[in-house]
C-alpha cells in the first residue's frame, strides 16, 4: 500500500488553525483523518473540528513536539489501522509546536508521505509577537519549517502593514509560499514537504508557556465576562472554553485571541476554560475583581 500523505498545520496561539482546517475539510474530496494537539490539560479544539470523514484523534499531555511520547505513536498506530478508509492525515499542532520536530518523524516513517506544512500567521499580531523575546523563536521556527504560510486577519490591517508582515515572513523563509485567505485553494495541502536546511530549536515550551484551567460550572454575568477580557493581562495570548450566562439558555463557546473575544452558542454541557500565554499563572486569571467572581 502506498504511504499515507500527512500534513502538519502549525501557527501560534489563536492564529486561526482550526478555522483553516474546517475550511479545508468542508471542501475536501478526500477522506481525511485529523489529529489534534492542544497545549494544556483540557482538550477544546478536537470538539471544534467538523467534517473529518476519517475521524478526529486527540493528543493529550501537552505539546506533542516536545514530548514525542507514547500518546503520539499510539495515535499513529490507530491511523495505520484505518489506512483502508482514509486518504490523508492532517495534524493540527498546538499553538507552540515547531513543525520540524513533527515532520522529522514523518520523514523517518516509511508508511507516511510527508507533504506540505502549512503555518497560519496572524497578520494583525505577527510583528508584535515576533518582537517579543519570550516567543520569537517559536514563531521563527513555525515559519522556517513551513512550505506555505497563510496570513489570517488581513482584513484588520492596511496594505502597508500587510507588506511589512510579508517581508518579515520572507526574511525567515525564502522558499515558502505566502498566501492570503482569498488566495488559498483546496490543493494547498498537496505537494512534497521540503526539509529545512537548519532546524531552529527554542527552549522547552513548558519553561515559557503556561496553561491555566478554570472551572466554569455556574452561570456568569455576560457584561462582566466581556469586561474582564477587555482588561485582560497582556501575557494572556489565548483563551477558549465553554461558559453559561446568567438569565440565558444554553452554553457558549468563548474564544479569545489578538485581544478579541468571540462567543458562539454550542450544544454542550461542559463548563471549563483554558487560558494560555508566556509566563502565565493562576494569579493573572483573577476574576474576583469583577462581577465574574460568581465563577
**CATH assignment, 4-203:** 3.40.50.300
Task: Answer for the pair 236, 282: CB distance below 8 angstroms, yes or no.
Answer: no
Residue 156's pLDDT is 93
Query: In this structure, are strands 238-243 and 272-278 parallel, antiparallel, or unpaired?
Result: antiparallel
In angstroms, the Cα distances linking 261 to 124, 186, 202, 258 are 15, 29, 29, 9
Whether residue 128 contacts residue 121, with contact meaning beta carbons closer than 8 Å, is answered with no
pLDDT of residue 251: 92
Q: What is the mean pLDDT of residues 116-124?
A: 96
Domain ranges for the chain: 4-203, 208-294
Q: Check if the beta carbon of residue 93 is closer than 8 Å to that of residue 64.
A: yes
What is the per-residue pLDDT for 39? 55
- Residue 3 pLDDT: 93
CB 206 within 8 A of CB 94: no
> What pTM did the predictor assign?
0.83
Kindly tell me if the per-residue pLDDT of 216 is higher than 90: no
pLDDT surpassing 60 at residue 288: no
Q: Is the pLDDT of residue 287 over 60?
A: no
Architecture of the CATH domain 208-294: 2-Layer Sandwich (3.30)
Cα distance between the two ends of the chain: 53
pLDDT band for position 48 (cuts 50, 70, 90): low
Q: What is the mean pLDDT of the chain?
A: 82
Q: Which three cell numbers stand for residue 38?
A: 492542544
Q: Is 80 exceeded by the pLDDT of residue 164?
A: yes
Question: Does residue 258 have a pLDDT over 60?
Answer: yes
Q: Please, are residues 27 and 186 in contact by the beta-carbon 8 Å criterion?
A: yes
- HSE-CB for 26 with a 13 A CA cutoff: 8
Backbone angles phi, psi at 170, to 5 degrees: -60, -30
Mean per-residue pLDDT for 208-232? 87
Write out pLDDT tens, residues 180-203.
988 877 678 888 887 554 445 554
Distance CA 102, CA 68 (A): 9
pLDDT at 186: 67
Amino acid at each position: 500500500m502506498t504511504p499515507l500523505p500527512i500534513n502538519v498545520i502549525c501557527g501560534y496561539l489563536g492564529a486561526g488553525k482550526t478555522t483553516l482546517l474546517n475550511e479545508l475539510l468542508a471542501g475536501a474530496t478526500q477522506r481525511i483523518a485529523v489529529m489534534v494537539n492542544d497545549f494544556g490539560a483540557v482538550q477544546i479544539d478536537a470538539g471544534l473540528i467538523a467534517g473529518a470523514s476519517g475521524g478526529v484523534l486527540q493528543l493529550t499531555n501537552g505539546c506533542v513536539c516536545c514530548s514525542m511520547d507514547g500518546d503520539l505513536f499510539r495515535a499513529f498506530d490507530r491511523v495505520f489501522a484505518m489506512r483502508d478508509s482514509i486518504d490523508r492525515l492532517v495534524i493540527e499542532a498546538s499553538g507552540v509546536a515547531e513543525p520540524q520536530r513533527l515532520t522529522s518523524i514523518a520523514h523517518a516513517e516509511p508508511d507516511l508521505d510527508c507533504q506540505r506544512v502549512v503555518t497560519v500567521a496572524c497578520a494583525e499580531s505577527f510583528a508584535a509577537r515576533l518582537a517579543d523575546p519570550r516567543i520569537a523563536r517559536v514563531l521563527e521556527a513555525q515559519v522556517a519549517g513551513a512550505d506555505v504560510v497563510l496570513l489570517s486577519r488581513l482584513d484588520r490591517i492596511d496594505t502597508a502593514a500587510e507588506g511589512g508582515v510579508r517581508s518579515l515572513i520572507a526574511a525567515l523563509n525564502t522558499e515558502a509560499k505566502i498566501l492570503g485567505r482569498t488566495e488559498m485553494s483546496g490543493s494547498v495541502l498537496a505537494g512534497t514537504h521540503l526539509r529545512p536546511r537548519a532546524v531552529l530549536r527554542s527552549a522547552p515550551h513548558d519553561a515559557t508557556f503556561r496553561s491555566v484551567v478554570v472551572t466554569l460550572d455556574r452561570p456568569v454575568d455576560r457584561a462582566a465576562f466581556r469586561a474582564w477580557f477587555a482588561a485582560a493581562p497582556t501575557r494572556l495570548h489565548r483563551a477558549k472554553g465553554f461558559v453559561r450566562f446568567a438569565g440565558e439558555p444554553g452554553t457558549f463557546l468563548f474564544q479569545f485571541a489578538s485581544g478579541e473575544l468571540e462567543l458562539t452558542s454550542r450544544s454542550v454541557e461542559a463548563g471549563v476554560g483554558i487560558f494560555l500565554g508566556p509566563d502565565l499563572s493562576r494569579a493573572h486569571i483573577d476574576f474576583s475583581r469583577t462581577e465574574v467572581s460568581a465563577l
